[in-house]
């Protein structure tokens, strides 16, 4: 009798795995998207740090251009295309970077979610 039950259950694991495959794939896609959101936050913070570092050493008249160039310099093309870098302040310089979160693959569609990075530093004294 036990032999007959085992023969009837052949392929059960395969059927259960095929049934769970869509759930596994959706879970992996969701986790990957969360990783991209986190990575975009890291890039925005780093770009703001780089921008404010260069902005504090630049003259006030050219600060925005120097700051924007430095903020976008280390970004890859996928994030650079939608990046917005603004700098301001006197005495205490601030930099704000807005990056769009991509959908699944960087450089493709935008998620419609923008990540904000902010940094500030005291302006360097001019000799």
Q: Say yes or no to pLDDT of 2 above 70.
A: no
What is the chain's mean pLDDT, rounded? 82
Are 120 and 90 a contacting pair, CB within 8 Å? Answer: no
The percentage of the chain sitting over the pLDDT mark of 90, rounded to a whole number, equals 17
The residues spanned by each domain of the chain are 2-122
Q: How far apart are the first and last CA of the chain?
A: 95
pTM score: 0.77
- Is the pLDDT at 54 greater than 70? The verdict is yes
Residue 99, beta-bridge partner list: 115
CA 10 to CA 102: how far, in whole Å? 44
Alpha-carbon gap, residue 78 to 53, rounded angstroms = 23
Instruction: Among 14-18, 83-87, 123-127, name the one with the lowest average pLDDT.
Output: 123-127
Give the model's pLDDT for residue 70.
85
pLDDT digits (tens, 9 = 90+) for 107-117: 777 767 888 98
- Give mean pLDDT, residues 83-91: 80
Find tokens 């769009």 and name the residue.
100
Instruction: Return the percentage of the chain with pLDDT > 70, whole number.
Output: 88
Using alpha carbons only, give the angle 81, 46, 97 rounded to the nearest 5 degrees. Answer: 50
Contact, 124 vs 56, CB < 8 A?
yes
Res 8 pLDDT > 70 = no
Q: What are phi and psi of 49, to 5 degrees?
A: -60, -45
Q: Which residues contact 71 (CB under 8 A, 6 or more apart)?
A: 47, 48, 50, 51, 83, 85, 95, 97
pLDDT tier at 127, thresholds 50, 70, 90: low
């Amino acid at each position: 009798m036990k032999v007959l039950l085992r023969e009837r259950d052949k392929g059960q694991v395969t059927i259960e795995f095929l049934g769970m495959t869509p759930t596994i794939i959706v879970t992996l896609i969701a986790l990957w998207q969360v990783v991209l959101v986190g990575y975009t936050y890291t890039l925005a913070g780093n770009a703001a740090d780089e921008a404010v570092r260069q902005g504090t050493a630049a003259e006030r008249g050219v600060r925005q251009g120097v700051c924007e160039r430095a903020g976008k310099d280390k970004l890859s093309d996928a994030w650079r295309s939608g990046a917005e870098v603004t700098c301001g302040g006197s005495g205490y310089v601030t930099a704000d970077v807005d990056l769009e979160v991509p959908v699944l693959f960087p450089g493709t569609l935008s998620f419609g979610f923008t990540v904000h990075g902010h940094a500030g530093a005291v302006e360097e004294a001019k000799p």
